[in-house]
Structure 1
């Protein structure tokens, strides 16, 4: 009988060695699964008590923070300014610019602001400059002189994402 390089003959003993290795693998897998089961059983059930000990002044500070936020609902943010003008007819022109914008974009918040001597029309309530610039790119064709400004904004409405499950 001829032997190959590994030292096994080509016949029966090769099949026996494969069976022997296969048997070792089965035993190893059984030990692995049993040890995982024992690990899972040895863990806690996750039931326990948590006691929070805090200074009573923390509650009063939290309540003051809530009251201040209710009094001043504005936060720092960004808007897009599409119009500003000073002069005799600037208020009328600002109102026209605002109504034109509402006709094109009815779902976007808009504001007519008077900061002496200018009437301004500002659009949106954006938390980041990137959001404001994204909207600016969207309206750039209709309002080529528009630009992004930092302003006190109202809290933007947080809509839930619509997903089809």
Structure 2
């Protein structure tokens, strides 16, 4: 009797499986338009966070203008850069035994290259584009 019930259940399940395999029915899925909006917002968030460090700071570029052992030279150049480019931030870093002078906070490398061309008219030293953690505040709606 138990074997007959097992065979009956097996045949029943097989019939339903066969019926599903031969179905020519079309399934229509109605997608809510808000799903697309949500996907776009998530893509923007992913793009923004890919440029962020674990601390919430942004990866970007700066121009390194000077690498010297003289503290006075570094701060003189910083003052001159601030005088000529008041809209850019200038940074003096000390990595023993060198003082490094860097300028700018650029999200895109092309922006750093454009500024390097402007900067070459004011300084005789070559400026190098370096990867750095930058100060950057996204504009409202930039990543939405």
User: Is 1:152 aligned with 2:127?
Assistant: no
Pairs aligned (count): 96
Give the corresponding residue for 2:82: 102
Which 4+ stretches in 1 moved above 2 angstroms? 49-52, 71-74, 156-160
- The residue correspondences of 1:23-34 to structure 2 (distance < 5 A) are none
Secondary structure at 2:86 match in 1: coil
Deviation at 1:147, TM superposition (A): 1.6
Q: TM-score, normalised by structure 1?
A: 0.49
User: Is 1:92 aligned with 2:66?
Assistant: no
Answer with 1 or 2: which has the greater Rg: 1
Q: Structure 2: which 5+ runs fail to align?
A: 1-31, 36-51
Q: Structure 1: which 5+ runs fail to align?
A: 1-48, 53-68, 161-165
Secondary structure at 1:138 match in 2: helix
Q: 1:51 to 1:126 in 2, by over 3 A?
A: closer
Work out the CA distance in 2 between the residues paired with 1:74 and 1:143.
Answer: 30
Give the corresponding residue for 2:66: 83
Question: Greater relative contact order (Cα 8 A, min sep 6): structure 1 or 2?
Answer: 2
Work out the CA distance in 2 between the residues paired with 1:115 and 1:121.
Answer: 11
Deviation at 1:73, TM superposition (A): 4.0
